[in-house]
Amino acid sequence: MTTTLNEPPDGLIGGYKGGNFVVRILMIVFSSIALYNAIELFILLFLTFQHYRGLYFWTLLLSVTLGVIPHTVGYILEFFALAPLWLGLTLSTIGFYFMVPGQSFVLYSRLHLVVQSRTVLRFVLWLIIIDAILLLIPTTVLTFATAYIRTVPYIRGYNVMERMQLAWFCAQEFAISGIYISETIKLLSLMPEKDRRRSRIMYELLAINFVIILLDVALLLVEYIGYYSLQTTLKPMVYSIKLKLEFGVLGKLVSLVQTQRSQPTSLEHEDYPGFVDPSQLTGDVTHAAPIESAGRRESRRGSELAHVGTQNSSFDEGYG
């Protein structure tokens, strides 16, 4: 546990030296859950997708294989002194690059399902890119400087930057999740009156996004309390859970935007949760091509809803 900003975090240099047995057990438990979730999601991806293409597929795959797994393994090697310090730091740093900004790219890759504004989509994309550049490069430099140079300015800089970076990325994810919640509620208001379907989808989407926000808040609390070792092993577990929840959100969004092409009772006989039911993913959600809608549109509401539906008419060629 870091007592002041002028001291290096416990575990960053020479392994975890704390004598708290409970903390060691929790570090192992968090890391094990993260690796289990990553492997499970990796298998689900290849069982669900028929064609391995699209921004959603690749961002999710890279977030798992080059994000969660190396980040977790790197900190295990680092905290328990199982390998040279440079190897643990390199693996954890590479993993962080793909895991944390990767989570935001996963959110962005399905944003077009509920947001029709090109301005909003471009804003979110550039926000993710600029934040990644501004936050990742200084943090990487300060991490290695703290580990090898070990002067007070570098140590203090790392402690400040590490906290600021985590808070900023969490705020970024809060903002994107907020867009989803807002736009999903708007989209549901355009649907024909199907009270049971509307309520079920809305509450499932809101619950999933609320859980994602709570996980980020928990991570921030552990970070700012000062439990560096727990925070760095809790982080990959939290992100692995969020990536699995993203899978669930996608299934619900696909079900939502295809409403007018489905039967009114299409959800009444659903037996599985969204993120373990591959049948809900029926197309390449990152390459939706709009087509002409049949008939004349009677109102502005009908036009907006039809546009959302036709954008996803190419789903059937991607997944099974």
**Residue 15: φ, ψ to 5°:** 85, 170
What are the structure tokens assigned to 155, written together? 């140590």
Nearest CA-CA partner of 33 in 249, 229, 239:
239
Q: Tens digits of per-residue pLDDT, 200-220? A: 777 777 788 788 888 888 888
Q: Please say whether the structural domain 21-278 has been given the CATH code 1.20.1070.
A: yes
Instruction: Kindly give the parts of the chain with pLDDT less than 70.
Output: 1-3, 188, 190-199, 251-320
Q: Tens digits of per-residue pLDDT, 234-282? A: 999 999 998 988 887 776 666 666 654 444 443 343 433 333 333 444 4
pTM of the model: 0.76
What are the structure tokens assigned to 32, written together? 């094990």
Confidence at residue 178, expressed as pLDDT on a 0 to 100 scale: 86
CA dist list (Å): 58 to 41, 45, 55, 105, 238: 13, 10, 5, 10, 20
Confidence at residue 316, expressed as pLDDT on a 0 to 100 scale: 35
Q: Which sequence spans correspond to the domains of the chain?
A: 21-278
Confidence at residue 93, expressed as pLDDT on a 0 to 100 scale: 94
